[in-house]
Amino acid sequence: MSVKPEGMPKGVFTRLVFVLLFCAASAVSIFFSVFLLLSANSAIAYVIAISFTFLALISSGFNIMTSYSYYRSVYYNRYLQRINAGLRPMRRMPTVAIAVPVFNEDPGMVERNLAKLRGMNYDASKLSFYVLDDSSDAGVARDVERISKRYGAVYMHRQNRNGFKAGALNEMLARSREEFLAIFDADEELIDANFLLDLLPYFQDAGMSFVQTEKSYRKGSFFSDTVSLFDAIFFRLIQPSRVLNGTALYAGSCAVIRRSALDAIGGFPEYITEDTFLGFESDLHNFRSLHVPHVYALGKPIESFTELAKQQWRYNYGDTQFLLYFMRRARKTKKSAMSALSKMDYAAHGLGMNYLSSILILFTVVSMLIVISAAPFALGSIKQIFTPPYTILNLELLGMSAFLLSIFIPIAISKAYFNSYSKGVMMFALNFALAFVRLKGAVAALVSENPAKVWFKSVKAKTSGSMRGISLFRNAGIEIGFSGLLFAISFFSFLFYNISGALWLFWYGVLYSTTVFFFAKYG
């Protein structure tokens, strides 16, 4: 058996070019920090300089780890081909439970999903179907139950959502005995019927706990297709490297899991992002895992910014929970059980969304302080720029260089791997538009806020002007206030002839105000 990988990675030369770009961005930030420290002439200036240096070092550390993962993944296809070459035909077909978790989803979508899953190329007598319905809408629950019976699926409905998706799966595990489990979200329609025939042979390795496939989405609008690139970048450029490091992430669906491994782990950890926790526990229990870079099912694309904000809030809530969980488990785990590389991978994952949100915001705050504390300057000759009185110009030129590199890299990656400059621009803007959304998710996790709370309300196109304004302010009040502050400081900097500082903060203001634009345009 051999699975043909999709989205074949670029060659080594292309990888090296991007690694050099990541290193250049780190170097500019570090040099910027050095200039700040050397030019500091007061206690406040030293605090600003030290703060920026701390942020620059963290950013550089992430850039180095990203470069390492990105470069190493180029060798993954070769690794997978060696594994494929050693696979033997299956002597028997094991029993498989196919679970479809549902929560107030469109019953018609659930029916289409079950119809496709029923057409899977596998011995039907070895398959059992389970619909795990946590729907709070009685009408939806009735329809889903009727559809489940029509397609011969065991229908399970809970009156509560204890443990969220993980709780529903654990309840199913208590009532099932199949040897393997495959999970498909309610919106994921199977497009390759060989899913089980392709993946089950990998479990000839008795230590294999799960095999994850690439998750992807049906084509939609320009917005939804751009959002889909966040997952595409992870599955094509990050996940392969994690497999080589022994830290593959389970992604919640489109995977096959060995039941005995689940039992050894203690079932699905009942957290809002149970997938991350399961992958981590699998590694701690000395199981192996694998990623197959092939798309077997397509999910429903994210068409509204509100839906994206909710997703990112939930991801960052879960990642923050995981980071705290990881630190507790790492302290209690024998040093030999986790390599330094494994710890770095899991720490980076827990910090990932927090890094993207908090580091952007903190860099912006420090940038404001730099501009506010800077004395006005006038443009001079090239020789004057490198003399001490004009050090502030060096600072701002370095700052702008680092900023421009941070824009250029995602756009270049988008062009190189997905043949689109415009999607790279939107991905860059979305990271700023979602910065406070992600940060709010992290804070909510730290204070144990109920993750079921509704944090964002959709802004419909036909909503009246006043109500639309109220909804926008409710969803993006922090971003409106923060970008307003940036614009105000930029204006006063311009009045005092600090042109580069004014442009620097004005551009930051534009980026944070994109939250309002995305809510207004995409709902």
In DSSP notation, 430-490 reads: HHHHTHHHHHHHHHHHHTT--TTS-------TTS-HHHHHHHHHHHHHHHHHHHHHHHHHH
Q: From CA 333, how far away is CA 376, in angstroms rounded?
A: 55
On whether both 54 and 111 belong to a single domain, the answer is: no
On whether both 41 and 172 belong to a single domain, the answer is: no
Of the pLDDT bands very low, low, confident and very high (cuts 50, 70, 90), residue 339 is: confident
Q: From CA 440, how far away is CA 451, in angstroms rounded?
A: 11
Q: How far is the first Cα of the chain from the last one, in angstroms, to the nearest whole number?
A: 45
On whether both 362 and 462 belong to a single domain, the answer is: yes
On whether both 140 and 62 belong to a single domain, the answer is: no
Could you tell me which residue, 277 or 458, shows the higher pLDDT? 277
pTM, two decimal places: 0.84
Please check whether residue 418 lies inside any domain of the structure: yes
On whether both 22 and 152 belong to a single domain, the answer is: no
On whether both 168 and 300 belong to a single domain, the answer is: yes
Q: From CA 109, how far away is CA 119, in angstroms rounded?
A: 16
From 170, 188, 161, 169, select the one nearest 105 (Cα to Cα).
Answer: 188
Residue 128 sits in a domain of what CATH number? 3.90.550.10
Condensed to tens digits (0 to 9), the pLDDT of residues 110-149 reads 999 999 999 999 999 999 999 999 999 999 999 999 999 9
Hunting for tokens 């993750």 — which residue is that?
451
Condensed to tens digits (0 to 9), the pLDDT of residues 247-290 reads 999 999 999 999 999 999 999 999 999 999 999 999 999 999 99
On whether both 47 and 122 belong to a single domain, the answer is: no
- Length of the chain equals 523
For 470-490, what is the mean pLDDT? 86
In the DSSP assignment, the letter for residue 161 is -
Please check whether residue 98 lies inside any domain of the structure: yes
| pLDDT given for residue 337 in this prediction | 66
Please check whether residue 311 lies inside any domain of the structure: no
Please check whether residue 319 lies inside any domain of the structure: no
In the DSSP assignment, the letter for residue 252 is S
On whether both 292 and 379 belong to a single domain, the answer is: no
Domain that holds residue 30: 12-73+353-522
Could you tell me which residue, 284 or 97, shows the higher pLDDT? 97
Mean pLDDT over each residue of the chain, to the nearest integer: 84
Please check whether residue 347 lies inside any domain of the structure: no
Domain count, the chain: 2
Distances (CA, A) of 27 to 30, 351, 405: 5, 22, 11
Return the structure tokens found at 371. 């501009």
Condensed to tens digits (0 to 9), the pLDDT of residues 151-178 reads 999 999 998 888 999 999 999 999 999 9
Give the burial class of 345: count Cβ atoms within 10 A of its Cβ; 0-12 exposed, 13-18 middle, 19 or more buried. buried
On whether both 130 and 217 belong to a single domain, the answer is: yes
Please check whether residue 37 lies inside any domain of the structure: yes
On whether both 129 and 210 belong to a single domain, the answer is: yes
* Whole-number percent of the chain with pLDDT over 90: 45
